Structure 1
Amino acid sequence: MPNAIVFYRIARWFYVRNIPVIPSLFQLLIFLVYNSKVPPTADIGKGSYLICKGIATVIIDGARIGSGCRIGIGVRIIGKGPYKNVPYIGDQVFMGAGSVIAGPVIIGDRVIIAPNAVVTKSVPAGAIVGGVPAKIIGRVDQLDYDILANQADLEGHAEYLS
């Protein structure tokens, strides 16, 4: 089965061209197959994809997600009352499994959101955030590796906790 983003892109194509009903059918297909909400009204940039085929992902209508983003399993990009605006996510953002991005927040470019983090405030470009509520815990430019490179060539195990 293809990634849910494939069905989203088809639905988005019909939505942008104002062709009725078909986008809703693809959204229903995404819900039934992947238990996800990836609406055609959301604007997901080129090269962005859903990890683990997009299982249990929820994206609010009208959200904007930049290009080259990685959206983990169970990520929720949702609104927050009483605000009308929805999340705006920059380019090359990594959203860890189970993370929640809530409200009218702006996430800068090249941000890493740790798994299960709850982001309720805007995040500057290049930050690493984690926790509930999310706080800045590091900077991307201080990492020894590129998390978006998806390296699979390193061997060994992580060091023991001290």
Structure 2
Amino acid sequence: MTNIRTYNIARWLYIKKIPLFPRIFNRMTRLIYSCEIPYTAEIADNVTFAHKGLGVVIGHDTVIGEGTKVLQNVTIGGRSGIRANPVIGENVVIGAGACVLGDIKIGSNVQIGAGAVVLDSVPKNTTVVGIPARAI
């Protein structure tokens, strides 16, 4: 069983309003795969996590579109204690160790470089790198 499969099971149980079991699957994902992928996040079916999502942390209300690839040690979530998470478009590649933080939108076909810290929205068909991330 992969981390995305345990997420899918937990998400299905959550949507069906079956209590307790989504949390059990969420904890199992955290223990087995060392990642935090909450069942409240909206993640498309064909999103891939490299290295089984090792070290990935995703915020509760995050939306991740079709065909996105998330590499290891990526953080996607809110910032400064505000629970406003990113919306990530389709066919996005998020490099290893990148952080995508805040109430921002990442357009489709965006590439985020390894170690980048994205704090502002990124238009579609753009590559961003650096701290803070800038288009190249």
How would you bin the TM-score normalised by the shorter chain? over 0.9
Indicate the RMSD between aligned Cα atoms, in angstroms. 1.0
- In structure 2, the residue matched to 1:68 is 67
Partner Cα distance (1:95, 1:71) in 2: 5
The question of whether the paired residues in 1 share the 8 Å contact of 2:77 and 2:84 is answered with: no
- In structure 2, the residue matched to 1:51 is 50
Partner Cα distance (1:18, 1:107) in 2: 30
Partner Cα distance (2:48, 2:18) in 1: 24
AA aligned opposite 2:19: P
Gaps of 5+ in 2: none
* Cα distance change of structure 1 residues 23 and 110 upon mapping to structure 2, 3 Å threshold: same
AA aligned opposite 2:98: S
- In structure 2, the residue matched to 1:135 is 134
The question of whether the paired residues in 2 share the 8 Å contact of 1:3 and 1:54 is answered with: no
AA aligned opposite 1:98: G
Q: How many residues align?
A: 136
Per-residue deviation, 1:46: 2.1
- In structure 2, the residue matched to 1:35 is 34
Partner Cα distance (1:24, 1:118) in 2: 29
| SS, match of residue 23 in structure 1 | helix
Per-residue deviation, 1:16: 0.8
Identical columns (%)? 37
Q: Which has the larger Rg?
A: 1
Gaps of 5+ in 1: 138-162
Structure scoring higher RCO (CA < 8 A, sep ≥ 6) equals 2
* Cα distance change of structure 1 residues 32 and 84 upon mapping to structure 2, 3 Å threshold: closer
TM-score under structure 2 length normalisation: 0.96
Deviations 1:31-52 (A, max 9, x none): 1011110000000012111111
TM-score under structure 1 length normalisation: 0.81
